Amino acid sequence: MWAALLSLLACAGGWAAFGIVLRTWVVEERGNGVLGRVLGALRRRAWSRAVLLAACALGAGAWGWQRAQAGDEPLEATPGGRLSRVRLPLPQGAPAAGGSALYIRHCAWCHGESGRGDGPSTAGMVPRPRDFVRADYKIRSTAHGRLPTDEDLFRTISRGIPGTPMPAWERFLSPAERWELARHVKSFSPRFENEPREVLAVPGAEASAERGRASYRAARCALCHGEEGRGDGPVTVTLDRQWGLPAPARDLTRGWTFKGGHEPADIYRRITGGMNGTPMGPYADLLPEGERWDLAHFVASLDREPEPPGDDSVVRAAGVGPDAAWPADAPEWRRVRALVVPRAAQIVLDPPLRWWVPTSDTCAIRAVHDGRAFAVLVEWDDATHGGDLPADGLVLRFSPRPAARPGPFLGAPGDPALLWVWQEGMAPEEWSGSGDERVEVLRARFEAHAAWSQGRWRVCFRGRAADVPGLVAGGPVPMLVSIQDGSRPDRGPWKTLPTVPVLLLEVGRGPAAWFSALAFGLGALLGGRWILRGVAP
Amino acid sequence: MRPPAVAVGLALLVATPLRGEEAPRLLNPYERVKNGPPLTNVVHKMEIPWIWTKLRRPDHHPSARMPPLGLADDEARDVLAYLASVSDPGPPGPGWPTWAAKTFEEMSGDEAAEADALVERGKGVWGRARCTICHRVRGPGGGAIGGFVDLRVGGTDLDFASGRLKRGWLYDWIRDPKRYFPRTLMPRYDLTDDEVRGLVEFILRDDSFQPAAPPDGGGPEPQEVLGARADRTSRGRRVIEMSRCVVCHDIRGIPEVLPPQPEDPAPQKGTFEWVVHDRRCLTCHAVSGRGGTYAPDLTGAGSRLQLEWVREFVQRPDLVRPLSQQMPRFNLSAEEGALVADFVAAHLRASAVPDEIPGGKPREDEEARGRELFESKGCRSCHGVGEGPGGVVGPDLADVGGRLRPGALWQHLGSPRARNPHSQEPDLALGGDEARALAVYLSTKRRRR
């Protein structure tokens, strides 16, 4: 807001000075050459010169500040380390404008342009729209008097408030747009910047879930669903890999994939009644009612992806210190926001089919950079690795054409591709391709580190931004993430691919950005003065 | 190399049975839902320490494909108790001589001689029945079905048989496998009582079947398992239900979770379908896409094979391909042999195979020309013809006229990969008259019957 005010001031001052100069030029300096006229005008009106310079300086300062604001937000610890859609980053390049335009278009009618709940259609509206400036919210998961969490705002925007004029916006707006609006709503109150917003504990459910953890063990759920619930238990893996009779157990960490709903009541029913025709038989006679409830609460507590991934596609590499050489399984990565992207089937020409056997339907991508080096962490679920299975692998494919859709995987003449290739148990390789037959294998200029644990791969690539064509701070580069699962015939085109995200090294903020803004403004002031002195007699 | 499109098209034609003749619906033994054997009478099948070991550490056996269940010792005891409680009263099988329980060292001279003779007989049966096609014994041999066809159905590894399997159960199993496991891929061999006893003694006493490692100790005593109290068996039942053992095994008294399988409608005795079902022909052969891939595909066999040869071969299989797999001896009766031959000739027909060599009756000079061609084209390097030198890579041709119908011979010579795209036979691009001459010559190669 200050930046906008400064810009406004600078703009007004600049126009005023320009007007005065123009007037002087036209009225009083008739007869001289064009340059002579301007300089004469400036000489005569010394005060207007000062105004012009001040406008320049103010404008530069405001620009610098905006640049600084455009940087990433400080890294936040997500509660409980949840890898969740609700923590996904929002587009920040022009977020305020986008959010504000959406807000004006969809929200301001009731909530008012200034967020005071006094929009043009509120006459006689009962209940009154929320006053965002007062920031007093009814629907929260936090303590009384506290602010709601981002998830609370998102949920209310998405689902609306039944019985009021507030509609469920999930019918009209994409998740990304709804997140933008949640963000904009927060901007009406400075309290959101520093007040804590702890989620209220639900002791009954939590204690129940804790008891359910024991039931999960006693009822031998992990035999199929795996120790951490990723659907990678020994029975599931053996039936699929050893016998070729897949009976996939649900990955309990992804609520949005539960076919019958992921609320505790849904889960309770599934446990009690089982699922016909699958190894998931009924537990009605095996576990007492209370234990089934505990189990349902425990299963609900495993859910880390309650919502399906949205249409965000920007992997924002947050600026961090130069010591961010974290291994793939380092806890520090948890603090970096993840972009969860869906993986979808490829259409294969020969044989004609749609390749529909993804082992994991999403992958999570995180990235950081320190100005020179950058690191990308990709996580995906894969129940098996090693042994006599073909190797698992990961390929990051960069293309130097930022705006274009990525061309053929191995590039094409005139459309080169740079591939960073990691395969389990092998040294990383760097491929430079300009066509299927024209792939050059280079010495890898990056490091790869991989860790597999409880059915999940975490693979981290670290390299220099300068080695990736087109990758400069602030400039997005398409980065295709190709995952190869050795236990599936994932080869060549026979694989699933995620939507193609772009990698964006965000402009760092902090002292450097501030100094650069200050220096720019000061430089403009002094430089302008010097030029004017030089031409003055 | 991809076979030419014409050959593929021809192969498709050949694989299509004649219209109008309703092909019987043969049961595909590979279509079964449960991988594991039934566990209802497992305490009669295996010695308790081995079941105990398998339950606690499925990977104790190197090629086991049972998932580790992580059972605690107490849970394994309970499971054993439940399995014992749902078993039929035992032990199965016939009575055994007193020496059966002794080792060779403990036997008297007469007993040892008797046992030795039985073991020798069993060894012969083992070879004739070609047990190693399916069953892996220690070392590289065997397991062909498991390796070749489909990972799901490999025969049990037998290098742990001795000391693990129980004598009475093994006898009953070999006698009639389907009584214990209706959906097994194992065929029934019509063996005599003595032959079965021999095979049992051979498997239980020969060194090749000795376990490489002993079973785990610390398990329950048999009395403890067989006479377990009700609380123990009900705990065992609970563990079995929670561990979802019924996904792979039939266990009496445990409710199913997978869709119930319709019972095999057992074919009527005395029909071809019954012979196929009883002897599990489709474990190795396939007809119209149903069955295994270890042995030749029999789709259209009736148009290719001589009726007489089929009748004889299924009763007493002879060597066809010296270096390749051989058919086990199933001891089919003469009536069964005739039944099979008649059925194959009548129903397994392929319209694309001509009955006779096209172009009229064979002439004398053609036979001589064919003999010449046989020598000049180098056929001998792979095939023997019963006279003079001959290779062993391809089938022996001494009786090829008795085995194959002339039309099929002619067709195969003209386009070797028409029926079997993977055939090793080189395509010599014979001219029409050359193929005819060669076929005429080979049709004369018949053994006296």
DSSP code for B446: -
The per-residue pLDDT for range A462-508, each reduced to its tens digit, is 999 888 888 887 778 888 888 888 877 666 666 666 667 788 887 75
- Tell which wins on pLDDT, B10 or B415: B415
Whether A238 sits inside 8 A of B151 (CB atoms) is: no
Whether A281 sits inside 8 A of B238 (CB atoms) is: no
pLDDT of residue B306: 92
Candidates A243, A271, A287, partner chain B, best to mutate (most B CBs within 10 A): A243
Q: How confident is the model at residue A63 (pLDDT cuts 50, 70, 90)?
A: low
Checking if the pLDDT of A274 tops 80, the result is yes
Report chain B residues whose CB lies below 8 A from the CB of A287.
Answer: none
Q: What are the helix (H) ranges across A274-409?
A: 289-301
Report chain B residues whose CB lies below 8 A from the CB of A278.
Answer: 257-258
Under 8 Å CB pairs connecting chains A and B tally to 58
Cβ burial, residue B62 (10 Å; 0-12/13-18/19+) = exposed
SS3 B304: helix
Q: How confident is the model at residue A515 (pLDDT cuts 50, 70, 90)?
A: low
DSSP one-letter string for A240-304: IIITS---PPP-TT-GGG-TT--SHHHHHHHHHH--TTSS----TTTS-HHHHHHHHHHHHHT-S
Checking if the pLDDT of A204 tops 90, the result is no
Please provide residue A524's backbone torsions phi and psi, each rounded to the nearest 5 degrees.
-60, -40
Select from A282, A299, A235, A228 the least CA-distant residue to A452. Answer: A228
Whether A219 sits inside 8 A of B242 (CB atoms) is: yes
The per-residue pLDDT for range A82-109, each reduced to its tens digit, is 322 223 333 333 344 456 888 988 999 8
Tell me what the mean pLDDT of segment B79-91 comes to. 91
Chain centroid to Cα A102, Å, comes to 19
Residue A236: closest CA among chain B residues belongs to which residue? B67
Select from A110, B439, B443 the least CA-distant residue to A118. Answer: A110
DSSP one-letter string for A150-177: HHHHHHHHHH--TTSS---GGGTS-HHH
Candidates A245, A275, A291, partner chain B, best to mutate (most B CBs within 10 A): A245
Q: How far apart are CA B75 and CA A414, in angstroms?
A: 66
> CA angle, A134 as apex, A133 and A135 as ends, to 5°?
85
pLDDT of residue B2: 37
- Beta bridge pairs of residue A397: A419, A480
Candidates A223, A224, A286, A287, partner chain B, best to mutate (most B CBs within 10 A): A223
For residue B98, what are the contacts with CB-CB under 8 A and spacing of at least 6?
B111
Chain centroid to Cα B245, Å, comes to 27
pTM for this predicted structure? 0.70
Question: What percentage of chain A's residues is helix, strand, coil (to nearest 5)?
Answer: 40, 20, 45
Report chain A residues whose CB lies below 8 A from the CB of B152.
Answer: 243-245
Q: How far apart are CA A415 and CA A436, in angstroms?
A: 12
| The residue to which tokens 């033994």 are assigned | B29
Q: What is the mean pLDDT of chain A?
A: 79
Tell me what the mean pLDDT of segment B178-188 comes to. 88
Tell me what the mean pLDDT of segment B48-56 comes to. 92
**Would you say the C-alpha torsion A99, A104, A110, A114 has a positive or negative sign?**
positive
CB A381 within 8 A of CB A251: yes
pLDDT of residue A266: 95
Q: How far apart are CA B134 and CA B132, in angstroms?
A: 5
Beta strands in A327-468 (DSSP E): 339-344, 346-348, 353-355, 362-369, 373-381, 393-398, 417-423, 429-433, 439-443, 447-453, 456-464
The per-residue pLDDT for range B149-168, each reduced to its tens digit, is 343 445 667 767 777 889 99
What is the number of other CB atoms lying within 10 angstroms of the CB of residue B151? 14
Please tell me whether the interface predicted TM-score (ipTM) of this complex is above 0.85. no
Q: How confident is the model at residue B10 (pLDDT cuts 50, 70, 90)?
A: very low
Percentage with pLDDT > 90 across chain B:
33
| The residue to which tokens 């011979």 are assigned | B409
Nearest CB partner across the interface for A274, out of B67, B150, B257: B257
Select from A230, A462, A473, A453 the least CA-distant residue to A366. Answer: A462
Give the gap in angstroms from C-alpha A342 to the nearest C-alpha of chain B.
Answer: 31
Q: In angstroms, what CA-CA distances link B41 with A26, A247, A300, B66, B84? A: 113, 27, 41, 18, 8
- Beta bridge pairs of residue A341: A363
- Beta bridge pairs of residue A199: A142
DSSP code for A491: B
The per-residue pLDDT for range A284-320, each reduced to its tens digit, is 999 999 999 999 999 999 998 887 777 677 888 887 7
Residue B71: closest CA among chain A residues belongs to which residue? A220
Nearest CB partner across the interface for A242, out of B65, B255, B259: B65
pLDDT of residue B299: 87
- The structure tokens listed for A226 are 């795996």
Q: How far apart are CA B398 and CA A278, in angstroms?
A: 56
Whether A281 sits inside 8 A of B259 (CB atoms) is: no
Residue B32: closest CA among chain A residues belongs to which residue? A245
**Would you say the C-alpha torsion B159, B165, B171, B175 has a positive or negative sign?**
negative
Whether A242 sits inside 8 A of B243 (CB atoms) is: no
- Beta bridge pairs of residue A367: A376
Residues in chain A: 537
Of A7-21, A512-526, B327-341, B353-367, which range is least confident?
Answer: A7-21
The per-residue pLDDT for range A123-179, each reduced to its tens digit, is 888 888 999 999 999 989 999 989 999 889 999 999 898 888 899 998 888 888 888
Those residues of chain B whose CB sits closer than 8 Å to some CB in chain A are: 35, 65-70, 150-152, 238-239, 241-244, 247-248, 255, 257-259
Give the gap in angstroms from C-alpha A436 to the nearest C-alpha of chain B.
Answer: 23
For residue A516, what are the contacts with CB-CB under 8 A and spacing of at least 6?
A64, A67
Q: How far apart are CA A260 and CA A345, in angstroms?
A: 23
Percentage with pLDDT > 70 across chain A:
74
pLDDT of residue A322: 64
- The structure tokens listed for B319 are 């060597």
Q: How far apart are CA A29 and CA B127, in angstroms?
A: 121
The per-residue pLDDT for range B104-144, each reduced to its tens digit, is 889 999 999 999 999 999 999 998 888 888 887 765 545 44
Q: How far apart are CA B410 and CA B359, in angstroms?
A: 11
- The structure tokens listed for B352 are 């694309």
Those residues of chain A whose CB sits closer than 8 Å to some CB in chain B are: 219-220, 223-224, 233-235, 237-239, 242-245, 247, 274, 276-281, 286
Select from A193, A191, A86 the least CA-distant residue to A146. Answer: A191
Residues in chain B: 449
Whether A223 sits inside 8 A of B35 (CB atoms) is: no
* Contacts made by residues B361-364, CB under 8 angstroms, sequence distance 24+: B362/B440, B362/B443, B363/B440
CB B36 within 8 A of CB B64: no
Q: How confident is the model at residue A516 (pLDDT cuts 50, 70, 90)?
A: low
Report chain B residues whose CB lies below 8 A from the CB of A219.
Answer: 242
Percentage with pLDDT > 90 across chain A:
27
Nearest CB partner across the interface for B258, out of A237, A244, A277: A277
DSSP code for B17: B
Tell me what the mean pLDDT of segment B206-234 comes to. 87
